[in-house]
């Protein structure tokens, strides 16, 4: 059951990611991206990282994709269709991607992964919360604070950048 589920999710992820970068309708691309993200969160569920999967769903699927769709609606007509990509870019992009994928896969298969034999940690909310705000060896309070400041800065800068300035009105 799990195995079949995994392959199904993998197929969804791969197919929709390819579709998302090839479709010529932008809203569809966004929706395909949504599917990819949901598939990813399914994989997190399968790996027993429920919290992460929830974050993936809410933040990515619920936040970023919605943001993207908003911006699409602000800047495009829904029926807008892309031109075909330039041939040079198309061939170059595919070639680079193929070579890169080949190299990485070769490296991955060449490598012998050695799993730790330590007993698996029970990933519950208490453990996550304690480590995220912990100040001991495995504590992540500093990156946590950094991220919070980064988010604040991004929030402010997004407002400033997207604000309709006086000088832009003149243009």
Partner 1 sequence: MIEGIPIYHFLIVSTIMFFVGVCGFIIRRNLITMLMAVELILNSVNINFVVFNRYLYPDQLQGHFFTLFIVGVAATEAAVAIALIINIYRRFKSIEVQNVSEMKF
Partner 2 sequence: MTGYAYTVLIPLIPLCMFLVLGLLTVKWKPIVFGIMGTVGMGTSFVLSLITAINYFFVVGPGPNGFEPIIATKVTWLRLTEFLHIDLGVMLDPISVMMLVVITTVSLMVHLYSMGYMKGEVGFQRFYAFLSLFSFSMLGLVLATNIFQMYIFWELVGVSSFLLIGYYYEKPSAVAASKKAFIVTRFADLGFLIGILVLSFYTKTFDFADLTAPNTTIFAESASVSFIGVSVFTWAMLLIFMGGAGKSAMFPLHIWLPDAMEGPTPVSALIHAATMVVAGVYLVARMFPVFHFQAPGALEVVAWVGGFTSLFAAVIAMTQFDIKRVLAFSTLSQIGYMMLALGVSGYGGEEGLGYMASMFHLFTHAMFKALLFLGAGSIIHAVHSNDMNDMGGLRKYMPITHITFLIACLTISGIPPFSGFFSKDEILVAAHNYSNTLFSIEYITAGLTAFYMFRLYFRVFWGNERHYHHTPHESPLVMTIPLMVLAFASIFSGFLPFSELVTSDKIGFETETHLMVALPSVLIGVLGIVVAWILYKKESLVPKSITEKLGIVYTATFNKFYIDEVYLFVTKRVIFNYISRPVAWFDRQIIDGFMVGIGKVTEKTSYEIKEMQSGQLQHYAFAFVAGTLILVLSLLYCLV
Task: With contacts defined by CB under 8 A, name the span among 2-10, 42-50, 60-68, 97-105 that binds partner 2.
Answer: 97-105
CB of 75 to partner 2, least distance (A): 16
CB of 103 to partner 2, least distance (A): 6
Nearest to 29 by CA among 67, 75, 65: 65
Q: Does 98 bind partner 2 (CB under 8 A)?
A: no
d(CA 8, CA 3): 9
Q: Does 99 bind partner 2 (CB under 8 A)?
A: yes
Q: What is the DSSP letter of 57?
A: I
Return the SS3 of 25: strand
Nearest to 24 by CA among 83, 68, 88, 73: 83
Question: Could you tell which of partner 2, partner 1, none binds residue 156, using a CB distance below 5 to 8 A set by kind?
Answer: none
Question: Could you tell which of partner 1, partner 2, none binds residue 121, using a CB distance below 5 to 8 A set by kind?
Answer: partner 1
Do the beta carbons of residue 108 and residue 96 sit within 8 Å?
no
CB of 53 to partner 1, least distance (A): 9
| Burial tier of 136 (Cβ tally within 10 Å: 0-12, 13-18, 19+) | exposed
Cβ-Cβ contacts under 8 Å for 127 (sequence gap 6 or more): 121
Task: With contacts defined by CB under 8 A, name the span among 6-14, 22-30, 95-103, 150-158 that binds partner 2.
Answer: 95-103
Task: With contacts defined by CB under 8 A, name the span among 10-18, 65-73, 98-106, 161-169 that binds partner 2.
Answer: 98-106
Site for partner 2 in 75-94 (CB under 8 A): 86, 89, 92-93
CB of 140 to partner 2, least distance (A): 29
């Amino acid at each position: 059951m799990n195995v079949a589920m995994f392959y199904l999710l993998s197929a969804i992820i791969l197919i929709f990611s390819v579709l998302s970068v090839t479709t010529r309708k932008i809203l569809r691309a966004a929706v395909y991206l949504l599917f990819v993200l949901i598939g990813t969160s399914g994989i997190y569920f399968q790996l027993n990282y429920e919290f992460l999967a929830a974050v993936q769903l809410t933040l990515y699927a619920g936040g970023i994709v919605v943001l993207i769709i908003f911006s699409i609606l602000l800047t495009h007509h829904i029926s807008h269709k892309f031109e075909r990509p330039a041939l040079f870019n198309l061939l170059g992009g595919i070639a680079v991607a193929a070579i890169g994928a080949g190299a990485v896969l070769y490296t991955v298969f060449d490598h012998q992964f050695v799993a730790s034999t330590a007993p698996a940690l029970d990933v519950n909310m208490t453990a996550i919360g304690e480590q995220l705000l912990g100040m001991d060896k495995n504590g992540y309070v500093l990156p946590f604070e950094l991220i919070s400041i980064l988010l604040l800065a991004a929030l402010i800068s997004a407002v400033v950048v997207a604000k309709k300035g006086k000088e832009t009105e003149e243009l």
